[in-house]
């Protein structure tokens, strides 16, 4: 190389690409190319750049809306993309499948189409598939029949509509009509007779009119129905999280509408219960009357009341009694190691900062660690605040303190088991706030269902009247 003309570094003019033939990397030429690239979404017409409703494609895979391409061909007779001659007979009607959400998807794999999906159509049927499916089920096994209709086709009949690896035909700034500043003829200005260029498009255009009329009336009604949709009584203050999950996970289908999460009946009841419950533990030494704090410990109180109503505590002994501390029972085995909750599994603690094991007659849950509550409970003989935030307080003694004193006076062995049997004859529930709440809930559900049925009948009547008007027209 020359000693003076060629330099051992890239000059400013080479970097900036001021002259033709300069370096193409890092310069403004590449930047301009990137800036000029404007991608056409897969579900949009290449002529109007708007979402299509009745897609048609050319043999090279360019997709148009029928109502846009027919007036163009009638006026110019050329392809708006390349400027070459194009006839209406060469257009292929495409059959895009939609899922329940109204999104275009592959009818075989059921995967939603995106701008990054390689999409292909079969010329003979017009059915649109994900290209990977055609490759796996048609090309590799050499099965040359349409996957939906079994209609035979050849490899040449596979038309690529979108290839993420080759987006040249999706850059609408390179289209002939775009460069020339041409505009699509406004089909609304022409009569239908001017648009109908041949018999093949007559039927399609007529069917479009009918579907537009019916869809416009039905969509307006549906929008009214959606706007009047009432919030469920057990709706949570947060959503199901499907929208955020669909945007952050490629494994989930796209969701664009947030819906309220729903509490189950028990969870909803535990959050709204406010009344107190009352019951009596009938022992062979007398009755212990209990007030249950259902608002502070709704799950624990519900468990105790349901087990009591079930007769779970009948003939169960108090297996442990420590003077000046507490008396413990609720284990059908009498060993202190048994017992289960109404749900047949352990349930979590319910600690409240305003509740403490202060005073005589506090009713609390026995456990063997965090969140291990079952059926066992204990009643305090005196304050034991060291048990706070370790055992769930769910009630207190409101009658029968003299009976509690009798139980405390009964002697015990070395393992704190009473020498005289202390038996629970039964636990009688006087006031069950959960039963009352469930009755109110059933009434609320009944009223909500009646309102929904009434609204449904009203909407059906409106739809029927609209369809009747359309038929008359």
Domain shared by 377 and 423, yes or no: yes
Whether residue 9 is contained in a domain is answered as yes
Domain shared by 295 and 408, yes or no: yes
Whether residue 242 is contained in a domain is answered as no
**Domain count of the chain?**
3
- Per-residue pLDDT tens over the stretch 368-419: 999 999 999 999 999 999 999 999 999 999 999 999 999 999 999 999 999 9
Question: Residue 108's domain spans which residues?
Answer: 55-193
Whether residue 209 is contained in a domain is answered as no
Whether residue 380 is contained in a domain is answered as yes
Strands (DSSP E) along 400-453, which ranges? Answer: 423-431
Domain shared by 275 and 139, yes or no: no
Is 41:172 a contact under the CB 8 Å cutoff? Answer: no
Q: Which of 168, 108, 157, 110 is nearest to 136 (CA)?
A: 108
Strands (DSSP E) along 252-408, which ranges? Answer: 260-262, 277-283, 286-292, 316-317, 320-322, 326-329, 362-365, 377-380, 393-399
Whether residue 77 is contained in a domain is answered as yes
Domain shared by 166 and 296, yes or no: no
Looking at residue 446, its pLDDT comes to 84
Q: Which residues pair with 428 in a beta bridge?
A: 280
Q: Which residues pair with 171 in a beta bridge?
A: 39
CATH number, position 296: 2.40.100.10
Domain shared by 276 and 305, yes or no: yes
Dist. CA 288–CA 418, nearest whole Å: 18
Q: Which of 91, 64, 80 is nearest to 174 (CA)?
A: 80
Torsion region of 34: left, alpha or beta (phi above 0 gives left; psi -120 to 50 gives alpha)? alpha
| Residues carrying an active site annotation | 320, 325, 328, 367, 378, 387, 391
Domain shared by 277 and 421, yes or no: yes
Domain shared by 64 and 187, yes or no: yes
- Which residue, of 193, 220, 242, is where some domain finishes? 193
- Which residue, of 416, 431, 446, is where some domain finishes? 431
Whether residue 371 is contained in a domain is answered as yes
Domain shared by 279 and 427, yes or no: yes
Handedness of CA 107, 113, 118, 119 (dihedral sign): positive
Whether residue 349 is contained in a domain is answered as yes
Whether residue 457 is contained in a domain is answered as no
Dist. CA 433–CA 458, nearest whole Å: 38
Domain shared by 72 and 156, yes or no: yes
Contacts 24+ apart (CB under 8 A), 162-168: 162/42, 162/61, 162/115, 162/117, 162/118, 162/119, 163/118, 163/131, 164/115, 164/116, 164/117, 164/118, 165/118, 167/37, 167/39
- Per-residue pLDDT tens over the stretch 180-234: 888 777 544 444 444 444 555 555 666 655 555 555 544 444 444 444 445 555 5
CATH number, position 123: 3.30.40.10
Looking at residue 166, its pLDDT comes to 86
Dist. CA 307–CA 59, nearest whole Å: 74
Mapped onto helix, strand or coil, the DSSP state of residue 303 is helix
Contacts 24+ apart (CB under 8 A), 460-465: 462/221, 463/217, 463/218, 463/221
Domain shared by 2 and 67, yes or no: no
Domain shared by 278 and 343, yes or no: yes
| 206 half-sphere exposure, CB direction, 13 A CA radius | 7
All residue ranges of the chain with pLDDT < 50 are 18-21, 27, 187-197, 217-229
Domain shared by 32 and 83, yes or no: no
């Amino acid at each position: 190389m020359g000693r003076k003309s060629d330099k051992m570094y890239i000059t400013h003019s080479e970097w900036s690409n001021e002259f033709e033939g300069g370096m193409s990397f890092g310069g403004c030429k590449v930047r301009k190319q990137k800036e000029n690239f404007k991608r056409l979404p897969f579900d949009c017409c290449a002529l109007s750049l708007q979402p299509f409703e009745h897609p048609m494609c050319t043999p090279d895979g360019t997709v148009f809306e029928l109502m846009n391409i027919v007036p163009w061909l009638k006026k110019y007779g050329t392809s708006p993309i390349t400027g070459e001659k194009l006839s209406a007979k060469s257009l292929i009607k495409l059959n895009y499948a939609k899922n329940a959400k109204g999104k275009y998807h592959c009818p075989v794999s059921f995967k939603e189409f995106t701008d990054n999906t390689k999409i292909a159509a079969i010329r003979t049927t017009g059915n649109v598939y994900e290209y990977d499916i055609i490759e796996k089920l048609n090309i590799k096994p050499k099965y040359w029949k349409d996957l939906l209709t079994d209609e035979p086709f050849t490899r040449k009949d596979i038309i690529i509509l979108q290839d993420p690896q080759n987006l040249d035909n999706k850059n609408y700034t390179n289209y002939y009509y775009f460069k020339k500043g041409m505009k699509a003829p406004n089909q609304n200005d022409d009569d239908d007779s001017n648009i109908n260029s041949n018999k093949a498009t007559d039927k399609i255009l007529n069917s479009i009119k009918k579907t537009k009329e019916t869809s416009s009336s039905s969509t307006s009604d549906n929008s009214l129905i959606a706007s009047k949709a009432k919030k469920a009584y057990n709706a949570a203050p947060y959503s199901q999280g499907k929208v955020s999950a669909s945007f952050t996970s490629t494994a989930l289908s796209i969701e664009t509408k947030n819906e309220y999460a729903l509490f189950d009946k028990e969870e909803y009841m535990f959050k709204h219960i406010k009344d107190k419950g009352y019951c009596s533990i009938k022992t062979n030494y007398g009755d212990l009357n209990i007030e249950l704090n259902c608002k502070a410990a709704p799950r624990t109180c519900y468990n105790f009341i349901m087990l009591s109503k079930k007769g779970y505590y009948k003939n169960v002994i108090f297996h442990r009694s420590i003077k000046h501390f507490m008396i413990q029972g609720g284990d059908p085995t009498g060993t202190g190691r048994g017992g289960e909750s109404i749900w047949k599994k352990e349930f979590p603690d319910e600690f409240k900062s305003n509740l403490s094991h202060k005073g005589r007659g506090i009713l609390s849950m026995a456990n063997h660690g965090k969140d291990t509550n079952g059926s066992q409970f204990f009643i305090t003989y005196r304050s034991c605040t060291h048990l706070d935030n370790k055992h769930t307080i769910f009630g207190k003694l409101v009658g029968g303190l003299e009976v509690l004193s009798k139980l405390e006076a009964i002697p015990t062995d070395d393992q704190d088991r009473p020498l005289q049997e202390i038996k629970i004859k039964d636990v009688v529930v006087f006031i069950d706030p959960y039963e009352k709440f469930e009755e109110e809930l059933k009434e609320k559900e009944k009223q909500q269902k009646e309102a929904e049925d009434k609204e449904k009948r009203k909407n059906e009547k409106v739809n029927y009247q609209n369809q009747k008007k359309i038929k008359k027209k």
